[in-house]
Amino acid sequence: MTRPAKITPDPIINAVVELRFNSSVPEDAVLGMLFAQIKSKYNKFQKLPVADFPKEVRMNDQALQFNPYYQCEAGAYRLNVGPKVISLAISKDYPGWKEHYFPEVKSVLSHLDQAGIVDNFIRIGVRYIDFFENNIFDNINLSISLKEHPLDALQQTFNAIFKNKNEGFLTRVQVVNNITAMSDGLKKNGSIIDTDTYIENKQGFEFSGIENIINSCHELSVDFFFDLLKKEFIDTLNPEYENDQ
């Protein structure tokens, strides 16, 4: 199925490009070395709560090892930095991948390379959270049944990890209905589709090729999202295709 280039209104309420890495730089120096490169735009970092945890706790707890310690907002973007992770997020007025978001990701990557804090990358991921005000289970190519009958539950949650057509790439998907989420600055009840497309390598990825890997994560994520939606539902979302006149 040909996927739309755009749907309206845009359901994206959060997007994150996350890079986890190995570094031989002392953790206390990571932010300072990166800050020297990005301070013209990202210049007001705030400490996050995890940064105040004892170092022994942070380093020995697997759940905390890749948490960011500092955050800076610049316009619609939110840059998160930790000793082993950096992510660039956007949670309002998604500007589009090709035109704005990906160029900003590449700019951050360039500064990260110049900072010299990364030995290699061990996980690269692109995550999107889309919000719909209806029961999304009625409009996706997925059903949950009980004794061969559609599941009639107050709330349904589906979690799974899928292999993608590109070898090594995985997509973790979560679909939840009857949930409250922030959309357009307001709390609304509806459904979310949460996709995280990523690739991991314990030996590490070098800087060369990282941009292509990130873009592949994005493309696979978008393909997965539209494959999940029923065609008749997509037709109600004012789809625009690249070959539209």
Helix (H, G, I), strand (E, B), or coil: what is residue 81? strand
Task: Please spell the DSSP secondary structure of 204-220, one letter per residue.
Answer: EE-STTHHHHHHHHHHH
β-sheet bridge partners, residue 161: 172
Of 181, 175, 164, the C-alpha closest to 222 is 164
State how beta strands 120-132 and 186-205 pair. Answer: antiparallel
188 and 178 Cβ atoms separated by less than 8 Å:
no
Query: In tens digits, what is the pLDDT along the chain, a chain of 245 residues?
Result: 689 999 999 999 999 999 999 999 998 899 999 999 999 999 999 999 988 888 878 777 877 889 999 999 999 999 999 999 999 999 878 999 999 999 999 999 999 999 999 999 999 999 999 999 999 999 999 888 888 887 778 889 999 999 988 889 999 999 999 999 887 778 889 999 999 999 999 899 999 999 999 999 999 999 999 999 999 999 999 999 987 54
DSSP label at residue 50: G
**Domain extents for the chain?**
7-13+126-201+213-240, 24-117
**How far apart, in Å, are the Cα atoms of 129 and each of 13, 105, 145, 193?**
6, 18, 25, 6
90 and 15 Cβ atoms separated by less than 8 Å:
yes
**How far apart, in Å, are the Cα atoms of 108 and each of 33, 80, 125, 167?**
13, 11, 15, 27
Our separate counts of H helices and E strands in the chain read 5, 11
